[in-house]
Chain A
Amino acid sequence: MSSHSPATPLGSLQPLGVGILGAGPVTQAIHLPSLARLRNILEVRHIMDVDAAVAESVAARVGAKHSTSMDALLGDPDVDIVAICSPHQFHADQVIAACRARKKAVLCEKPFAMSGEEAARISAVSAETGVPIIVGAMHTFDPGWLAAEANWGDLPETAHTIRSSIVLPPNARFEDFATEIITRPASGTPDYRDVEVVKNALRGGIMGLAIHDLPLVRRFTPDFEDLEVLQARHVRPFGYVISLRAGERIIELRAAMNKTWKPEWTFEAISDDSALRVDFTPSYVQAGSAVATITRGTTSTTYGPYEHNGYEGEWRELAQLALGTKQPPAAESLINDLTFAIAIADATVDVAAAEYANSHAGAHS
């Protein structure tokens, strides 16, 4: 969120030290493989996890120190950049602690807070300490997306329809292509007859899955505070059908996570005379960047695929932020992304609960 050090060319010095809070599947299957591709600029030096055996095992893969305490990692002078990959509820406090520890840059996995109040607190600490923060919305760092951004012209002003569609196999399918995972979170069998289960599934869908692309959606939604939920429906076993109106824009969000092998992850912004379509690669695997297609009338221009994905892109960005060679994103933008997601989650859950009640009333009448 703010910049603090003089500019230094990327790759001209010793690698920057990375410390990671939380050593679960995302760290194992996404961040460590991404960092392995960037050894000339970044080096993993400290892994922390509340499970000592996990911390030790994951750290051993990269020759890093390990600990079970956040303070030990933040107190490690070899750590320049902190990545926060812990469960959502710890994000805000850990981001603030990393800033207070005067680290050179902080990456926080999405969502970086669970309320607007938490986000404002983070913003204030970042401004006070001068430590730049980015949120791990990896698609915003994807070279395919960035190429689209450089070429989409006035589409953010003219788009009338935005679509995000995510169809994914279980995470384990791609985690296992990326690394050898230890410790997966336990999964249960939800009882969807319970409205609270449905509400939690929808909120989890927004804050855990849709949130990947909500910053992209917001780029095309200038009136994002004028939000109306037209429909919000749960898709079994995990997914959603959500239709929103934001100002005069229509936003359609679709997601289905199931046992399929075939991932489809697309983003579209459409106006009367131009359109953007971005096809993203699945998370976890190093499958290169998204491919973006911009169409004006009947003429299409394609950007990508490029060699690296958004996760690697965000680590490259972090290195630049830590070295002071790039300006961090505006705090307001990150806060707006978060409040947009929270507003959608809150409104969606309310609408879904009402629909659930209606459908059950109908079923028994």
Chain B
Amino acid sequence: MSAQYTVTATPQAEENGAVELAVASLPVSFGPASEASATAGDAAQISAIDGAAGWTTEAIKAIDGGASGIVVVNPVPESTAALLDAAEASGVAIILDQRWASNPGLAGAEDPVRSVAGRAAMLDSVATAAAGSDPERLLTEHLAAVVRVTGQLDALQVLRRGTHGYTVSGRLANGAPVSLQGVLSNSRPAGVDFRLYTDDGGVSIAVPEPLAAWPAEVRATGPQGEILLPTLYESAHRATWRRLKEHLDAGTLPSDLTAFARLTESIAHLY
């Protein structure tokens, strides 16, 4: 039986990442750091921090403080180079808990998407968030989820952005048009809708909010019909913590920061 890791979370991380709930759903793997250990000055093994601006600096502080694993909730784009160096030097696992990209259903979507990408005719994706949300943050979360299954997109360009959302154009590797639309409304379920069309079907993905264990729905459509991939009733938050445990047990370092560096670069080119 592997060890249980102790966890602390900043208030912002707790609020945005439902850390307590996620940890409570993995009670063998994780547990809250006790008051006694905190009083004794023992650092918790895992730190959960919020991904607001400056999160890479906070993460480096957590590494310096002795953390063996770090969860970053909803990180905003910023340079991860120094953090990556620090994590590799100290062997600290850093996992990103991204609003939609961390949904466990997306792992299963990668194969169906990539197997038809060469025949893609159009990718149309719409992300929805509550009215009043920050559209730039929405775009980051949206793009993170899309490139998780498509890989890098070419020729990304913001066509418009404003208080009601955005439209971004791009191209898939085969030249097919990509459209990413953000919609801010309280009357459309928050989430990402992803539709990749080919000459004879395609792949559709509906990614829900991580507030509950709603499953992503991944459907592959072809001449023989449509397959709904097995649904995974696990929130993005819990999947993040489970993935961290797997890396900790195996002694491996996740590639989250490297992928996020590419995302940051893409976002930087957009503005």
Residues on A facing B (Cβ under 8 Å): 160-161, 163, 165, 167, 230-231, 233, 235-237, 239, 241, 243, 245, 250, 252, 254, 256, 258-262, 268, 270-275, 295-298
Contact = CB atoms under 8 A, between A and B. Distances in A.
Given A239-B122, A243-B169, 16 more contacts: A231-B167, A231-B169, A235-B122, A241-B177, A243-B159, A245-B160, A254-B179, A258-B197, A260-B197, A260-B200, A260-B202, A270-B183, A270-B185, A270-B187, A271-B185, A296-B187
A187 to B, nearest CB: 15
Contacts of A231: 159, 167, 169, 179
A245 to B, nearest CB: 7
A252 B188 contact: no
Nearest to A259: B200
A233 B187 contact: no
A161 B165 contact: yes
Contact of B223 (A165, A252, A261, A273): A261
A262 B226 CA distance: 9
Contact of B179 (A243, A295, A297): A243
Contact of A241 (B179, B200, B202, B226): B179
Contacts of B164: 160-161, 250, 272
Interface of B: 121-122, 124, 126, 131, 159-160, 164-165, 167, 169, 176-177, 179, 181, 183-188, 197-202, 221, 223, 226
Contacts of A254: 122, 124, 179
B124 A250 contact: no
Nearest to B202: A260
A170 to B, nearest CB: 11
A58 to B, nearest CB: 32
Contact of B185 (A161, A245, A261): A161
B197 to A, nearest CB: 5
Nearest to A160: B164
Contacts of B177: 233, 235, 241
A237 B184 CA distance: 32
Given A235-B177, A243-B179, A230 B187 contact: no
A351 to B, nearest CB: 11
B37 to A, nearest CB: 42
Nearest to B185: A270
A120 B200 CA distance: 42
B186 A273 contact: yes
A45 B167 CA distance: 51
Contacts of A270: 183, 185, 187-188
B124 A272 contact: no
B165 A273 contact: no
A235 B187 contact: no
